[in-house]
């Protein structure tokens, strides 16, 4: 029995709770590879237990080694390796990849994994190397899919308890990876490893690995964990997590130690390169206790054990760092740091741009931390891509496009001296394209730090800016795009003739940007600013009732019950809706959270952390709250929270 639910998220990465046979694992995490023969295990099991909630070992080696087989069959795999938490096993596929042939039947190894009480077993997939002939890749894949089907049938027929890994193959052919993911997805595996990336990682072909991960992910169900098989180098974890990988396995910690190699989150060092340092550049228990010289002078066995321990510590340290980054919304920043550790990693990261339309769907609409620019790649982050799309959500009538000096602090409207009229002022921005003056406080338009840019960096958005201006011209007519003269003329005229409430206009535009609908059209509202900070706080209706609060860190508008009713009236179904089963209708009305299992339909364009309306099939409003899942995930997840409900709607709703 397995459940998987999302707790926190950033980029395509997620902190999830994976519950396997009642044992909980927080993802992303790393599964240390342990040897089925405890005598051959480099790092003592006590340390593994302290750091890991799940390990991976090899069922094929266990099967082939008579004394191991005997113990495993009698006492189970957990006893054999001395680990009582979750045990995953590989099937011998890796050996198949290395030696070209192994002698075991694909179903026999499934039976064996079940017999020895493995929590998650693996099918005997065929790890096709990179760059083989297409025919071979196709033939191998066909065989892997065939074995996958037979393995699943066996599991179902015999009511096996073990969960199964359904590995994605297809060599370096992306369409085959897609096909592999689609076919495996149909078979309803518990975990989806992405296979045969080890040779690519060894050759630093990160670009290919990134392509393979994304093309697989795009065709896999979002509600199942993805394991990047054989990736144990912490340098690549941040990027892999940002692309949606949840699990890693590491034999690297022990293998590298054999050759005196010292892992760091920025790459690998040889012990000999460190021996002149007074202390190690790490403060794990091993590195705090030994100087490089002392460690280097130990005999081979002790050295290997201690290096493996260090390697394991820093591998877990990077996982913790990634989890922290997810919680604070700085995963892309961490990725951008890491990819600068090797040009090939940077090259891999640059592939992300190509897949932004997909990746953006998973990226939260708001984050706790500001957007930090770290180089030209930051121009292609999902936050920027989304803003450029959402710029078109605003209803423009008259527009004045301008530049501001980069010495002016954001948010601009607090520091620019302009006469506030009904003209939309679009401020050219080298990263975000344009920042509309009236929504300049909304995340991430003022929550960003960008250094003074080089001219060539500013060029990046010129094309977008020109295209957007063309779009505007078509939309509102060339005459309504004011130049400095017509703008000055207009505001002079305006200041004499008409009066607007700039704050009302501001929240109206902010809602257009947030929802894509003119929610406050013809609505008479009063906007309250904070007495202390002068910042926007609340939107009240003409009776003085609260419609929206304005969240201070990101200026997202948070509806009250009245605000939710207004949204429901002004935004057509199914936009911004999460439709729930009748069964939980009353729970929702009482203001209780909505769980993924009860979601029967939704706006497929929803993004994580958007403010949504919870309705029944007849679009009767039940509640309002924040969705943790995007439109794809809302339909696919069966466990965990879907909408954190802020409030339920009084039962007299229908008669309103
Ligand atoms: N370990 C590393 N790569 C692979 C793979 O492609 N398949 C399996 N089963 N194990 C692996
Ligand atoms: Zn260390």
What is the residue-averaged pLDDT of the chain?
96
- Clarify whether residues 215 and 69 are in a common domain: yes
And the tokens for 570? Answer: 């002004």
Would you say the CB of residue 125 lies under 6 angstroms from ligand 1?
A: yes
Q: How much is the pLDDT for 493? A: 85
Q: What is the pLDDT of residues 236-263, one digit of tens each?
A: 999 999 999 999 999 999 999 999 999 9
Q: Choosing from 10, 90, 363, 603, which is the catalytic residue?
A: 90
Would you say the CB of residue 13 lies under 6 angstroms from ligand 1?
A: no
- Clarify whether residues 617 and 638 are in a common domain: yes
**Residue among 59, 97, 202 whose CB has most ligand 1 atoms within 8 A, to mutate:** 97
Q: Could you tell me if residue 364 is inside a domain?
A: no
- For the segment 401-406, the average pLDDT, to the nearest whole number, is 91
> Ligand 1 atom 2: the closest Cα is on which residue?
230
Would you say the CB of residue 230 lies under 6 angstroms from ligand 1?
A: yes
- Clarify whether residues 275 and 417 are in a common domain: no
> Ligand 1 atom 9: the closest Cα is on which residue?
93
- Clarify whether residues 212 and 332 are in a common domain: yes
The Cα 636–Cα 287 span in angstroms is 45
| Cα distance between the two ends of the chain | 46
**Residue among 229, 249, 255 whose CB has most ligand 1 atoms within 8 A, to mutate:** 229
- Span from the CA of 328 to the centroid of ligand 1 (angstroms): 33
The Cα 15–Cα 5 span in angstroms is 9
> Tokens 């192994």 map to which residue?
102
Q: Please check the confidence at residue 267 and state whether its pLDDT lies above 60.
A: yes
Q: Could you tell me if residue 404 is inside a domain?
A: yes
> Tokens 């008409």 map to which residue?
498
Query: Residue 640 maps to which CATH number?
Result: 2.30.130.10
Strands across the sheet containing 23-27: 2-10, 13-20, 23-27
Please report, to the nearest 10 degrees, the dihedral formed by the alpha carbons of residues 43, 46, 47, 50 taken in order: 150
Q: Could you tell me if residue 374 is inside a domain?
A: no
- For the segment 34-46, the average pLDDT, to the nearest whole number, is 96
- The SS3 of residue 621 is strand
The 3 state secondary structure assigned to 86-117 is EEEEECCHHHHHHHCCCCCCHHHHHHHHHHCC
Q: Could you tell me if residue 369 is inside a domain?
A: no
The Cα 320–Cα 323 span in angstroms is 5
Q: What is the pLDDT of residues 271-308, one digit of tens each?
A: 999 999 999 999 999 999 999 999 999 999 999 999 99
> Ligand 1 atom 10: the closest Cα is on which residue?
94
Q: How much is the pLDDT for 354? A: 98
Q: Could you tell me the pLDDT band of residue 653, with boundaries at 50, 70 and 90?
A: very low
- Clarify whether residues 459 and 494 are in a common domain: yes
Q: Please check the confidence at residue 224 and state whether its pLDDT lies above 90.
A: yes
Of 498, 530, 559, the position where a domain reaches its end is 559
Would you say the CB of residue 93 lies under 6 angstroms from ligand 1?
A: yes
- Residue 603 to residues 14, 260, 619, Cα–Cα distance (Å): 21, 54, 12
Would you say the CB of residue 198 lies under 6 angstroms from ligand 1?
A: yes
The Cα 439–Cα 41 span in angstroms is 59
300-328 and 331-338 are packed helices; what angle lies between their axes, rounded to 10 degrees? 140
Angle at 122 between CA 116 and CA 124, to 5 degrees: 110
Q: Could you tell me the pLDDT band of residue 654, with boundaries at 50, 70 and 90?
A: very low
Return the ligand number nearest the Cα of 251. Answer: 1
Q: Could you tell me the pLDDT band of residue 101, with boundaries at 50, 70 and 90?
A: confident
Kindly report the number of other CB atoms within 10 A of residue 381's CB atom: 26
Of 502, 535, 559, the position where a domain reaches its end is 559
Number of domains in the chain: 3
Look up 90 and say whether it is catalytic: yes
Closest alpha carbon to 89 in 162, 148, 198: 162
Closest alpha carbon to 433 in 472, 479, 466: 466
Q: How much is the pLDDT for 656? A: 39
- Clarify whether residues 308 and 230 are in a common domain: yes
- Clarify whether residues 309 and 456 are in a common domain: no
Q: Could you tell me if residue 366 is inside a domain?
A: no
And the tokens for 36? Answer: 């089925």
Q: Could you tell me if residue 139 is inside a domain?
A: yes
And the tokens for 284? Answer: 């794990």
Higher pLDDT, 439 or 408: 439
Q: What is the pLDDT of residues 47-57, one digit of tens each?
A: 999 999 999 99
Q: What is the pLDDT of residues 145-163, one digit of tens each?
A: 999 999 999 999 999 999 9
Q: What is the pLDDT of residues 334-358, one digit of tens each?
A: 999 999 999 999 999 999 999 999 9
The Cα 329–Cα 370 span in angstroms is 8
Kindly report the number of other CB atoms within 10 A of residue 188's CB atom: 12
- Clarify whether residues 283 and 329 are in a common domain: yes
Q: Is 284 annotated as a binding residue?
A: yes
The Cα 169–Cα 164 span in angstroms is 16
- Clarify whether residues 165 and 305 are in a common domain: yes
Q: Please check the confidence at residue 103 and state whether its pLDDT lies above 50.
A: yes
Query: Residue 329 maps to which CATH number?
Result: 3.20.20.105
- Span from the CA of 20 to the centroid of ligand 2 (angstroms): 31
The Cα 68–Cα 393 span in angstroms is 64
- Span from the CA of 334 to the centroid of ligand 2 (angstroms): 21
**Residue among 88, 164, 198 whose CB has most ligand 1 atoms within 8 A, to mutate:** 198
- Which atom of ligand 1 lies closest to the CA of 194? 6
- For the segment 357-374, the average pLDDT, to the nearest whole number, is 98
- The SS3 of residue 566 is helix
Return the ligand number nearest the Cα of 307. Answer: 2
> Tokens 């054990």 map to which residue?
305
- Clarify whether residues 142 and 72 are in a common domain: yes
Q: Could you tell me if residue 362 is inside a domain?
A: no
- Which atom of ligand 1 lies closest to the CA of 195? 6
Closest alpha carbon to 618 in 655, 651, 585: 585
Q: How much is the pLDDT for 202? A: 96
Question: Which residue range(s) make up the domain with 624?
Answer: 563-656
- Clarify whether residues 266 and 284 are in a common domain: yes
- Clarify whether residues 6 and 147 are in a common domain: yes
The Cα 382–Cα 430 span in angstroms is 16
Would the CA dihedral through 531, 536, 537, 541 be positive or negative? positive
Q: Could you tell me if residue 379 is inside a domain?
A: no
The 3 state secondary structure assigned to 136-185 is HHHHHHHHHHHHHHHHHHHHHHCCCCCEEECCECCCCCHHHHHHHHHHHH
Q: Is 287 annotated as a binding residue?
A: yes
Would you say the CB of residue 151 lies under 6 angstroms from ligand 1?
A: no
The Cα 356–Cα 121 span in angstroms is 34
Q: Is 125 annotated as a binding residue?
A: yes
Of 312, 332, 353, the position where a domain reaches its end is 353
Would you say the CB of residue 378 lies under 6 angstroms from ligand 1?
A: no
> Ligand 1 atom 4: the closest Cα is on which residue?
195
Q: How much is the pLDDT for 651? A: 57
Closest alpha carbon to 31 in 254, 258, 278: 254
* pTM (2 d.p.): 0.97
């Amino acid at each position: 029995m397995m459940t998987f639910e999302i707790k926190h998220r950033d980029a395509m990465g997620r902190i999830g709770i994976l519950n396997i046979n009642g044992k909980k694992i927080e993802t992303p995490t790393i599964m240390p590879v342990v040897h089925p023969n405890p005598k051959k295990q480099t790092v003592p099991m006590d340390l593994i237990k302290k750091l890991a909630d799940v390990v991976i070992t090899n069922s094929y080696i266990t099967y082939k080694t008579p004394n191991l087989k005997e113990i495993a069959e009698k006492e189970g795999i957990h006893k054999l390796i001395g680990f009582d938490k979750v045990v995953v096993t590989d099937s011998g596929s890796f050996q198949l990849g290395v030696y070209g042939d192994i002698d075991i039947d694909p179903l026999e190894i499934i039976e064996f994994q079940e017999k020895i009480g493995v929590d998650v077993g693996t099918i005997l997939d065929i790890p096709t190397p990179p760059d083989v002939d297409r025919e071979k890749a196709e033939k191998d894949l066909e065989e892997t899919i065939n074995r996958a089907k037979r393995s699943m049938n066996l599991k179902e027929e015999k009511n096996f308890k073990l969960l199964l890994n359904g590995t994605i193959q297809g060599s370096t052919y992306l369409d085959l990876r897609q096909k592999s993911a689609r076919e495996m997805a149909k078979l309803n595996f518990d975990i989806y490893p992405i296979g045969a990336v080890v040779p690519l990682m060894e050759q630093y072909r990160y670009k290919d690995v990134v392509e393979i991960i994304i093309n697989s992910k795009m065709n896999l169900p979002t509600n199942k964990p993805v394991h990047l098989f054989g990736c144990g180098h912490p340098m690549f974890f941040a990027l892999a997590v940002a692309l949606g990988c949840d699990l890693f396995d590491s034999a690297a910690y022990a293998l590298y130690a054999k050759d005196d190699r010292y892992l760091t989150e920025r790459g690998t060092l040889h012990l000999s390169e460190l021996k002149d340092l007074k202390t190690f550049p790490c403060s794990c228990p091993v590195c705090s206790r030994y100087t490089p010289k002392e460690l280097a002078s130990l005999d081979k066995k002790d050295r290997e054990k201690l290096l493996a321990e260090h390697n394991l510590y820093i591998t877990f340290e990077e996982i913790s760092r990634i989890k922290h980054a997810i919680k604070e919304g700085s995963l892309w920043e961490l990725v951008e740091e890491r990819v600068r550790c090797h040009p090939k990693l940077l090259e891999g990261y640059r592939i992300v741009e190509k897949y932004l339309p997909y990746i953006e769907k998973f990226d939260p609409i708001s984050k706790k931390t500001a957007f930090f620019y770290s180089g030209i790649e930051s121009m292609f982050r999902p936050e920027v891509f989304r803003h450029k799309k959402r710029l078109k959500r605003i209803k423009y009538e008259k527009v004045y496009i301008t530049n501001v000096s980069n010495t002016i602090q954001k948010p601009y409207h607090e520091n620019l001296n302009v006469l506030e009229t009904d003209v939309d002022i679009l401020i050219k921005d080298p990263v975000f394209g344009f920042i509309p003056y009236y929504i300049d406080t909304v995340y991430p338009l003022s929550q960003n730090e960008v250094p003074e840019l080089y001219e060539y960096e500013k060029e990046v958005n010129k094309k977008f800016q020109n295209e957007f201006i063309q779009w505007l011209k078509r939309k509102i007519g060339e005459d309504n795009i004011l130049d400095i003269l017509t703008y000055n003329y207009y505001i002079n005229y305006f200041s004499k003739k008409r009066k607007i409430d700039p704050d009302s206009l501001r929240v109206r535009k902010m809602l257009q940007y947030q929802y894509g609908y003119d929610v406050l059209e013809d609505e008479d509202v009063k906007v309250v600013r904070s007495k202390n900070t002068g910042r926007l706080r609340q939107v009240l209706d003409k009776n003085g009732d609260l419609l929206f609060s304005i969240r201070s860190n990101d200026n997202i508008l948070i509806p009250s019950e009245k605000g939710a009713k207004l949204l429901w009236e002004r935004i057509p179904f199914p936009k911004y809706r999460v439709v729930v089963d009748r069964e939980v209708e009353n729970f929702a009305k009482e203001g209780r959270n909505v769980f993924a299992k009860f979601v029967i339909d939704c706006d497929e364009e929803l993004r994580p952390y958007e403010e949504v309306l919870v309705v029944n099939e007849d679009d009767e409003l039940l509640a309002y709250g924040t969705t943790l899942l995007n439109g794809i995930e809302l339909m696919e997840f069966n466990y965990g929270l879907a909408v954190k409900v802020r409030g339920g709607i009084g039962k007299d709703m229908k008669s309103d």
